[in-house]
Amino acid sequence: MKIDIKLLKNTILELISDIATEMNTPQFKELDRKSFTVGKFEGELLGLYKVFNIITDMEEYRNKKEELNEMEKQ
């Protein structure tokens, strides 16, 4: 199954941006003082960054594998 890596990475970056934007709103900061929800958002951001890094590593591995296959054919 072929996955559009570029689209997946862009989607993850958009989610990260959306969460960061939400965390910087005055309403969220006021809410956070009462409910301590920042930890939830930090956890989500950390998870998204980890997934993004895994996808990037997989993409690099795939590219190197394709390069090696091309070299073997020559």
**pTM reported for the whole predicted model:** 0.63
Distance separating alpha carbons of residues 55 and 61, to the nearest angstrom: 10
CA dihedral 67, 53, 7, 10 (to 10 degrees): -130
Residue 32 belongs to domain spanning: 5-73
- Give the model confidence (pLDDT) of 18-47 as tens digits: 887 877 766 666 655 555 555 667 778 788
**Tally of domains within the chain:** 1
pLDDT value for 29: 60
Cβ-Cβ contacts under 8 Å for 12 (sequence gap 6 or more): 48, 51, 52, 55
- Give the model confidence (pLDDT) of 3-20 as tens digits: 788 888 899 988 888 887
DSSP string for residues in 43-69? HHHHHHHHHHHHHHHHHHHHHHHHHHH
